[in-house]
Chains A and B, each alone.
Chain A
Amino acid sequence: MSNSTAHEEHAGGGSKEIIKVTVILTVLTIVELILGFWMIDIPLSSTGVRMAIKGTIVILMMAKAFYIVAYFMHLKHEIKNLIMTICVPLALFVWFIAAFLYDGNSFRNLRNTYDPHYKEQSTIKVEKKEHGKDEKHGEQHQDSHKEKKAAE
Chain B
Amino acid sequence: MSNEAVLHAPAEAGLHLDAHGDDHHEHHHHETFISKYVFSQDHKMIAKQFLITGMVWAVLGGLMSVLFRLQLGYPDSTFPFLQDLLGKWAEGGKITPEAYYALVTTHGTVLVFFVLTAGLSGTFANFLIPLQIGARDMASPFMNMLSYWFFFAASIVMLSSLFVETGPFSGGWTAYPPLSALGDASPGSKTGMDLWLISMALFVVSSLLGGLNYIATVLNMRTKGMSMTRLPLTIWALFFTAVLGVLSFPVLFSGFILLIFDRNFGTSFYLSDIFINGVGALPNEGGSAILYQHLFWFLGHPEVYIILLPAMGMVSEILSVNSRKPIFGYMAMIGSLFAIAILAFLVWAHHMFVTGLNPFLGSVFVLLTLLIAVPSAIKVFNWLTTLWRGNIRFTPGMMFSIGFVSLFISGGLTGIWLGNSALDIHLHDTYFVIAHFHIVMGVASMFGMFAGIYHWFPKMYGRFLNNTMGYIHFWVTLAGAYLIFWPMHYQGLAGMPRRYYDYSAWESFKQFTELNRFISTVAMIVFAVQLLFLFNFFYSIFKGRKVTTTNPWGANTLEWTTPINPGHGNWVGEIPEVHRWAYDYGKDGKEFIVQTKAVGADESHH
Contacts and interface: CB of A to CB of B under 8 A. Distances in A.
B281 interface: yes
A107 B358 CA distance: 8
Interface in B308-363: 345-346, 349, 356-358, 361
A95 B283 contact: no
Contacts of B275: 146-147, 149-150
A100 interface: yes
Given A107-B290, A143-B281, A146-B281, A1 B5 contact: yes
Instruction: Name A's interface SS.
Output: helix
Nearest to A118: B273
A1 B356 contact: no
A95 B344 CA distance: 12
Contact of A1 (B6, B243, B349): B6
Interface residues of B, number: 28
Contacts of B280: 143
Nearest to A82: B219
Nearest to A90: B247
B85 interface: no
Contacts of B32: none
Nearest to A89: B247
Contact of A102 (B5, B6, B356, B358): B358
A124 to B, nearest CB: 14
A149 B294 CA distance: 26
A106 B6 CA distance: 53
A1 B2 contact: yes
Given A2-B2, A104-B288, A142-B285, A96 B357 contact: no
Contacts of B291: 100, 104
A92 interface: yes
Interface in A111-126: none
B298 interface: yes
A11 interface: no
Nearest to B368: A95
A82 to B, nearest CB: 9
Contact of B2 (A5, A89, A96): A5
A110 interface: yes
Nearest to A92: B345
Interface string B1-40: 1110110000000000000000000000000000000000
Interface string B273-291: 1110000110101001011
A127 interface: no
Contacts of A95: 345-346
Nearest to B349: A99
B2 A106 contact: no
A110 B346 contact: no
Contacts of A41: none
B285 A138 contact: yes
A139 B290 contact: no
A75 to B, nearest CB: 16
B2 A110 contact: no
Contacts of A102: 358, 361
Given A95-B346, A149-B275, 6 more contacts: A96-B345, A99-B294, A99-B364, A103-B290, A104-B288, A143-B280
13 contacts: A2-B2, A96-B298, A99-B349, A103-B294, A103-B358, A103-B361, A104-B288, A104-B291, A106-B361, A139-B283, A143-B281, A146-B274, A146-B275
